[in-house]
Structure 1
Amino acid sequence: MKRILVVDDEKNMRWAIKKALEKEAYKIYEAGNGLEAIEKFQEEMPDLILMDLKMPKMEGMEALKKIKEISEKTPVIMITAHGTMESAVEAMKIGALDYISKPFDIEELKVTIAKALKVMALQEEVSYLREELEKNTGKTIIGTSPQIQEILNIVERVASTNATVLILGESGTGKEVIANALHYSSNRKQKPYIKVNCGAIPENLVESELFGYEKGSFTGATARKIGKFEKADGGTIFLDEVGELDLSMQVKLLRVLQEREFERIGGNERVKVEIRVIAATNRDLYKMVEEGSFREDLYYRLNVIPIKLPSLRERKEDIPLLTDYFLQKYSQEVGRKNLVISEEVKKKLLNYQWRGNIRELENVIERMVLLGQGNIITEKDLPYEIIQEEKTEEIYRLPKEGLCIEELEKNLILQALERTEYNQTKAAQLLGMTRHTLLYRMEKHEIKKK
C-alpha cells in the first residue's frame, strides 16, 4: 500500500482528498502547514507528498526545500491556487516532480499521482539495476568439474521457482555467486535483491536491520526505518552466514518464513511481504541442531533445496580455468594485457591446498599481477605461504622407492643435534619430544653425545 502525505491548511480540502484517495487503496497522512509536513514526513516517510503552496507558519515552497534536503528521491506534487507558471517553474527547479492547479478535478489528481508514483518506481528500478550490474560485473560461475556442473543443473531447475534455497560450503567457495545466479535467472531478476550478512551485524541491531522500526520505539529512533525484509518485497532476500543468528532471532526469522509477515519494532501494523529466501552458511547447521544452537524447525524451513559447494581442493581440475579468468581480469585492470603465468607457477598453484578456496586464489592472482615484474609471472612472484607449504610437503613426501623409518628417525635426530650444536634440550624441542626420550633414541641409534 502506497503512503501519501496530504499537506493543506484547509481541513475540508484535506478531508475531500483523503476520502477520494483512500478509495484507490492509498494510506493517507495529513498535515496543516509546512512545519507539520516536515515532522510528519520524518515520522512516516511516505511514498509521495501532495502539498499546497500557500500555507501559514511555513509555506509549501520552504517545506519543499527542507524535505528535499532530507530525501531527494521522494516525489512531491505542488498544489497552487492560481496556477501561475512562475510558482510552478520555481517549485520544479527546487525538486517538485509535478504540480496541479486549484480547482482541480479529482480524477485528474488521481492520474497525476499515479504517474508520479510510476516515475519514482522506474527511477528506483533503474538505479537499483545499475548498482547491481556494477556489483556483479565479472562474478560468474566458472568450472567444468562434475561437482560444478551438477550445481549449475540444480540452479537452472530451481531458479524460476519460489523454493527456499540453503547454500552450504566453506568460506570462499562462491556461495554469494550461486545466490546471484539464482536471483538473476529467476522471474524476480528485475525486482529488489537484498543481501544481508547476518554475521556482520551487531547482535543488538539484527532485528532492527531485518524488520525496521517505528519512530520513537527506542532512544535514537528519530524516524521510521524500513527493514531489509520490507525492502525485498516482491524480490529476493539473501541471508548470508545465517548460522550466526542467535536463538531469539531464529524464532523471529522462522515466523517470517512461515507467515511472510512481521511487525516493525515499536509498531502494531502487520507488514506483509512476498519474497524468495536464499540462505547460506559455512557452518554445519545439522551439527548445530544436535548441539542445540540452531533451531531444528528453522533448519528444515531453510533446507528445502540444499546446494553443497565443494572446496577448491575437491575440484582441482577447475584451478587452471579460474587462474586464467582472474589473470585476465586483473591484468586488464592494471593495463598488463600480455601477462602470462609460467608452467612452474601453474603447477604449484594446482598442488596448493587453497584453504581459503576461490577467494584465496583470486587474492593470490591479484597480488602477483600487481607486484610481479616483467611479462611472465615466475616462482619468485609466488606468495610465501605457497612456497612454504610446498617445502613442508617435500620434507614429508614418501619417495616412490619407499624409505626406512629407522634411518629417517636417525637422520632427523642428527639434523636436530647439529642445528643446536648438540644441545640436547633444544634438539628435543625441535623434534617435539622430551630430553629423556631423545637420550633413549640416541642410544637406540648409537648416536654418540658430544
Structure 2
Amino acid sequence: MSKILVIEDEAAIRRVLKKILTEESKDYLVEEAEDGLAAMEKIKEEDYDLVLCDIKMPKMDGIEVLEATKKIKPETPFVMISGHGDLETAVDTMKLGAFDYISKPPDLNRLLNTVRIALDRKELVTENKRLKKKVSKQYQMIGESSEINQIKEMIEKVAPTEARVLITGENGTGKELVAHWLHQKSERSKGPMIEVNCAAIPSELIESELFGHVKGAFTSANKDRAGKFEAANGGTIFLDEIGDMSLPAQAKVLRALQENKIQRVGSDKDIKVNVRVVAATNKNLKKEIEDKKFREDLYHRLAVILIRVPKLNDRRDDIPLLVDHFTKKVAEEQGTQQKEFSKEALQLLQEYDWTGNIRELRNVIERLIILGGTKIDKKDVELFASK
C-alpha cells in the first residue's frame, strides 16, 4: 500500500486528484491537506511514499512545505502542482529536491505516469537502503580494544581517498571485514565490490579470472568473457591472499595499476578500467620478495597504506563482545532462542589459545550453542570447546 498526501487549497481539485488516484489503484491510500500548515502536521506524524503539493497556498506555500520536509524526511518524493504562472517556480523547486511538477489542470496520463515513476523510485531507494544496511550489518567490525579502534580510525581517514591499501594478518583475523568497511565508507560505495580469492584459483586460470579472455584464447574459451577488473569498474576490487598470485599475473596487475587499463587473455586490445585495489595477505611479502616469489614494484604499488589486523590472542578484551555478537547471529540463523554465557565461561574463553583467530571462535560459539545447556557455563566450554 502506497500512502499519498495531496496538498491543495482548492477543495474541488483535491477531490478530483483523490478520485483519479484511488480509481487508478486500490494500492493507493490517499490523504488530503487543505494548506501547508495542515500538511506539515501530517508529514511530521506519518511517512508518505509520495506528496502532491500545490505551490500557491495561503499560510504556508508549497516551496516552504518542500524545504521543511526535506529537512526532516529528505527521502520523501514531492511532485509539485503548478498554475500557468508558476511554471518557472515549479522548475526551480526541482533544484530544491522535488521529483517533478504537473501543470493545472492536470493531464490524466501525465499525472498517473509521474505518480507511478515517483513511487517506483521511492521503492527502489528504500530497497537499496535496506540492502545496504543488510550488507553493513553482515560486515560489522566488533570490538573496542585499542588495536581495533586504531584500525577503525585508520579506515575513517583512508576510506574517502583513492589510496590503495594492503591488509595483512593471519588467517581468520577479519581482513575481509576491513576491506568491506573501506569500500562501504568510500566514495565508491555505490559501485561494485568484487572479491577475488587468489589462493583458490589455479595459477593457469588466474589471469583469465582477473582480466577476462576472448573466444579461442585457450581450449575451453568458447566465448568472450569479462574479468573481475572489468566487473569492478567504478568500484573496488579486493584481491585476497595476493601473496599466492603467480608472477605473470602480478605483472599484469602491476600494469593495470600503472596505466588503468587491462588486456583480456588472447587479445591485444586495451580496456580502460577505473577501480580501487584493496589487497590482503597472510604472508610476509617482504620475505616473498627476497625469495623472488613476489614483485617488489607491485608491493610498493599496493602498500600505499598498510593495515595490520591483530590476532585474536592480542585482543582478548574483545572476546566477550564477539561472543555476544556470534551468539545473536547463530540464534538468528538457526531460528533458536539466544543463549546466555556465564562469567566463568567467558573468562575461560578469554584464556584459550585462539590459533584460528575469530573464525575459530565463531565455530566454537556455534558448537556451544548447539551442544551446551540452556545457559553456557564453564563445564560446557571445557567439554565442547577443547581442541
The answer, yes or no, to whether TM exceeds 0.5 is yes
Equivalent residue of 2:141, what SS?
Answer: coil
Alpha carbons of structure 1 residues 220 and 195: separation in structure 2 relative to 1, 3 Å: same
Alpha carbons of structure 1 residues 126 and 246: separation in structure 2 relative to 1, 3 Å: farther
- Paired position in structure 2 for 1:161: 161
Q: Determine whether 1:295 maps to 2:307.
A: no
Alpha carbons of structure 1 residues 245 and 167: separation in structure 2 relative to 1, 3 Å: same
- Paired position in structure 1 for 2:305: 305
Counterpart amino acid of residue 363 in structure 1: N
**Cα distance between partner residues in 1 of 2:384 and 2:287:** 32
Q: How far apart are residue 254 of structure 1 and its match?
A: 1.0
- Paired position in structure 2 for 1:327: 327
- Paired position in structure 2 for 1:381: 380
Equivalent residue of 2:204, what SS?
Answer: helix
Q: Is 2:368–2:384's contact at 8 Å kept on the other side of the alignment?
A: no
Q: Is 1:323–1:365's contact at 8 Å kept on the other side of the alignment?
A: yes
Q: How far apart are residue 198 of structure 1 and its match?
A: 0.4
- Paired position in structure 1 for 2:355: 355
Q: How far apart are residue 326 of structure 1 and its match?
A: 0.9
Q: Flag the structure with larger Rg.
A: 1
Q: How many residues align?
A: 265
Deviations 1:385-435 (A, max 9, x none): 8446xxxxxxxxxxxxxxxxxxxxxxxxxxxxxxxxxxxxxxxxxxxxxxx
Equivalent residue of 2:157, what SS?
Answer: helix
- Paired position in structure 1 for 2:140: 140
Alpha carbons of structure 1 residues 338 and 262: separation in structure 2 relative to 1, 3 Å: closer
Counterpart amino acid of residue 229 in structure 1: F
Q: TM-score normalized by structure 2? A: 0.64
**Cα distance between partner residues in 1 of 2:125 and 2:202:** 30
Q: Is 2:371–2:384's contact at 8 Å kept on the other side of the alignment?
A: no
**Cα distance between partner residues in 2 of 1:129 and 1:276:** 23
Q: How far apart are residue 336 of structure 1 and its match?
A: 3.6
Alpha carbons of structure 1 residues 208 and 130: separation in structure 2 relative to 1, 3 Å: farther
Equivalent residue of 1:147, what SS?
Answer: helix
Q: TM-score normalized by structure 1? A: 0.55
Q: Determine whether 1:249 maps to 2:263.
A: no
**Whose RCO is larger (CA < 8 A, sep 6+)?**
2
Deviations 1:360-401 (A, max 9, x none): 11111111112223x20123433768446xxxxxxxxxxxxx
Q: How far apart are residue 265 of structure 1 and its match?
A: 1.1
Equivalent residue of 1:204, what SS?
Answer: coil
- Paired position in structure 2 for 1:192: 192
- Paired position in structure 2 for 1:271: 271
- Paired position in structure 1 for 2:91: none
| Structure 2, gaps ≥5 residues long | 1-123
Counterpart amino acid of residue 313 in structure 2: R
Percent of aligned positions that are identical = 48
Equivalent residue of 1:226, what SS?
Answer: coil
Counterpart amino acid of residue 149 in structure 2: Q
Q: Is 1:129–1:190's contact at 8 Å kept on the other side of the alignment?
A: no
Q: How far apart are residue 230 of structure 1 and its match?
A: 0.6
**Cα distance between partner residues in 2 of 1:342 and 1:275:** 47
Aligned Cα RMSD in Å? Answer: 2.5
- Paired position in structure 2 for 1:183: 183
